[in-house]
Structure 1
Amino acid sequence: MKGPKTHVLLIGVGGYPYLKGGTEAKQQSPELAGLGQLTSPVASVKAMYEKVMEYNVQDVWSKPLGSIEMLLTPPPGLPPVFPGMNVENASLANIEDAYFSWKKRCDAHEENVALFYYCGHGFQKKYHFLLADDFGKQPANPWRGAFNFDDTRDAFYSCKAATPIFLVDACRQVTIEMLEKDLTVAPIDLPSLSNPEESKNHLTLKATASGQVAYGKKNMPTYFTQAVISGLDGLVARQDENEHWLVDTSSLGLNIHRLLELINSKQSFKQRCQINSGIPTDIVRRKTAPIAWLEVSCDPATALPLAGLTCTEDDEGASAPLTRKPMPDAWKLNIKAATYKLAATFEAGGDFTGGFIKTSLIPPFRKINVKCQ
């Protein structure tokens, strides 16, 4: 089928053979000696891959999925991540080959969406450097196993695809050794002075600010990746005039810190993302309502530990009401965007009488207090 498509390139580097804990570990400089293996990139790339394929089945990509290519290097000892699939490792040579193949596919139509995702180790000097799995193979110059992301991204803007999306889930720290040396790390692709500065609908999201660290739990997708996926799933969606739910480049970028806070409230302070975006353009388009987050409490707060709570969708064909027994904490729900009736009830003879409220839930989040007498 001809026409614009979404082309995806996923790169996950969790295994670094030449770094601490690797299968061919070599003695690195003191500042790199502690740099080792990662488990989050494997879980993160797997989550991204599954989400891309899920959207393909659901037919919600604004431009149908045209291709998906994946490079993944797991840390030693991990069982196969994609049994039966032939997934190449994320060496610098393989990353270069995959990048140029992806760029060529993206260049086939000016309305294509080009989605690039990287998760692994990163450093920042003047430019953001991303590490391939052969980083450290030559300890005298370990940077031969890295590439300059910023220049590579700028070079991509020569591509016809009007909507390039770059998601970079990597740290951006700098070492003293990096500052002391005239460090040059080559990009995969060379920017041209004749290139446009940016594609008009571009989006670049970096998981953290310059000099800072990105976070995640062991064997789990990173907080940034979870936030991106929750946004694409609809937590930043809006309805258009045809009642379709749309996620666009601008809404994903502008709400990334709110999404991080919903995933883990501490990350809204620890992890500050860098956002660079152009004209908003749709990424995902749904006919059905997405999931939003609802938090229900009582006013006054002293009523909450005694209140039985009920949440009923205001639709004749809706499913059975959701209920919760009295508990001291607010009731947190992940439910589809819709109009709901919320009620608090109390056992007869108590200190409070019941309350009721009708409210509309739209993404990403709403907090409601049911007033009780």
Structure 2
Amino acid sequence: MIQEFNAGEAGAKTHVLMIGVGGYPFLKGGTSVKQQFPELEDLGQLTSPMASVVSLYEKMVEYNTKNVWSKKLGSIEILLSPPPGSAPVLPGLNIENASLANIHKAYFSWKARCDQDEDNVALFYYCGHGFQKKYHFLLADDFGAIPQNPWLGAFNFDDTRDAFYSCKAKTPIFLVDACRQVTLRMLESDLTVPPIENPSLFNPEESKNHLTLKATASGQSAYGKKNQPTYFVQAVISGLDGLVARQDENDDWLIETSGLCTNIHMLLELINSKQSFKQRCQIACGVPTDIIKRKDAPIAWLEVSCTPDEALALAGLTCVEDIDVETGTLSRIPMVDKWKLNVKAATYKLGATFQAGDNFKNNTKKASLIPPFKKVKLVCK
């Protein structure tokens, strides 16, 4: 399914290819299991890819409606393989399954669209099972269809990405939301998994504005809650929404490739601050370029607390924008936890007030909030 946008308008475009593989018919829990693979016995069905692709797709369309793409949205192509028993995903769209043959076809179709203008943005997103040996292998939904060599249902992402650099588009963005673990059997064998396209020796270098974000480090897992978007795609979306924005000389707010690179780990921490693991991404970034450009101020995170610490439990807190007072005052009754707000980037008046006899002083303070976040302590002693 190729959905076109802004077809009648000239100029460079953003072309998107998204692949979500949650249903694997030949793996544990699948509908066509032929045999179990001893080294992959725990490999089964996934629910996060469906939710992740849907959340990212909806954002792509929202940005088009708000006209904030730096290069107008040109097309979105989606391949999805839901796990057995899933509810319909993106009803009304004619979406093909993510078999290896369909992935090959979609890749070359997407690359051809991107190749039409050097100023095009090419955005690739994959969510599903992955493994890492020398190269990062991503699994199509027909992985395991041939039990004697299940890897015939996978492709070598790293070489495929390098092959894409022959495309004229100067801004290819690859978001790979998959594990990178390795099994003992993989280490014991001389495993070769071909790419979708072989890299050309005549195009050995990355595209000028390239960006690759892998959701996790080599040998590690990527994470997400059941039936919810992965932590990685939530972090990416929060960045695109404005948490990595900077303001240029024209007062436009820019979301740039370098902003995602620099802040991806901070974004992951904000999405899931109580994680018992440290999901570390692999990052490769070329010359910074903007992806989103917006006039309105983006949302940022604000954390308000008091010093000394014991004052916070007794403080009534307020937050009001310094200029646009018509937006109203936000307030919070005394609580032990720090006050965390998601508000637009602006200058705020923050206040702490106490009841008579609390032995702490009322205080107000101005704070300028710019993405991604700011922590403010009100001195109340």
TM-score (structure 2 length as normaliser): 0.96
Question: Structure 1 segments of 4 or more deviating over 6 A?
Answer: none
Q: Deviations over 1:50-109 (max 9, x none)?
A: 010000001111100010111111101111011222111111011111100000000000
Q: Deviations over 1:177-211 (max 9, x none)?
A: 11111111010011110014100100000000111
Q: Secondary structure at the match of 1:367?
A: strand
> Do the aligned residues in 2 keep the contact of 1:342 with 1:356 (CA within 8 Å)?
yes
> Do the aligned residues in 2 keep the contact of 1:305 with 1:327 (CA within 8 Å)?
yes
Q: Distance in 1 between matches of 2:126 and 2:380?
A: 50
Taking only the aligned residue pairs, the percentage that are identical comes to 75
Matched to 1:251, the amino acid is: G
Q: Distance in 2 between matches of 1:172 and 1:272?
A: 11
Q: Secondary structure at the match of 1:312?
A: strand
Aligned to 1:347: 355
**Cα root mean square deviation, aligned:** 1.0
Q: Secondary structure at the match of 2:326?
A: coil
**Residues 138-177 of structure 1: matches in 2 within 5 Å?**
138-177=146-185
CA distance change for structure 1 residues 285 and 267 in 2, over 3 Å: closer, same or farther?
A: farther
Q: Distance in 1 between matches of 2:34 and 2:319?
A: 58
Q: Distance in 2 between matches of 1:226 and 1:268?
A: 18
Matched to 2:304, the amino acid is: V
CA distance change for structure 1 residues 85 and 128 in 2, over 3 Å: closer, same or farther?
A: same
Q: Distance in 2 between matches of 1:284 and 1:342?
A: 30
**Residues 42-53 of structure 1: matches in 2 within 5 Å?**
42-53=50-61
Q: Deviations over 1:137-178 (max 9, x none)?
A: 111100000000000000000000000000000000011111
Matched to 2:173, the amino acid is: I
Q: Distance in 2 between matches of 1:162 and 1:55?
A: 21
Aligned to 2:136: 128
Aligned to 1:34: 42
> Do the aligned residues in 2 keep the contact of 1:27 with 1:33 (CA within 8 Å)?
no
Matched to 1:280, the amino acid is: P
The CA deviation at 1:269 is 4.9
Matched to 1:279, the amino acid is: V
Q: Secondary structure at the match of 1:123?
A: strand
**Residues 5-24 of structure 1: matches in 2 within 5 Å?**
5-24=13-32
The CA deviation at 1:274 is 0.2
Aligned to 1:325: 333
Matched, 1:368 2:376: yes
Aligned to 1:242: 250
**Residues 289-308 of structure 1: matches in 2 within 5 Å?**
289-308=297-316
The CA deviation at 1:305 is 0.4
Q: Deviations over 1:115-146 (max 9, x none)?
A: 00000000000000000000011111000000
TM-score (structure 1 length as normaliser): 0.98
CA distance change for structure 1 residues 194 and 267 in 2, over 3 Å: closer, same or farther?
A: farther
Q: Distance in 2 between matches of 1:316 and 1:36?
A: 52
**Residues 62-81 of structure 1: matches in 2 within 5 Å?**
62-81=70-89
Runs of at least 5 residues in structure 2 that lack an aligned partner in the other structure:
1-8
**Residues 184-195 of structure 1: matches in 2 within 5 Å?**
184-195=192-203
The CA deviation at 1:335 is 0.6
Number of aligned positions between the proteins: 373
CA distance change for structure 1 residues 298 and 229 in 2, over 3 Å: closer, same or farther?
A: same
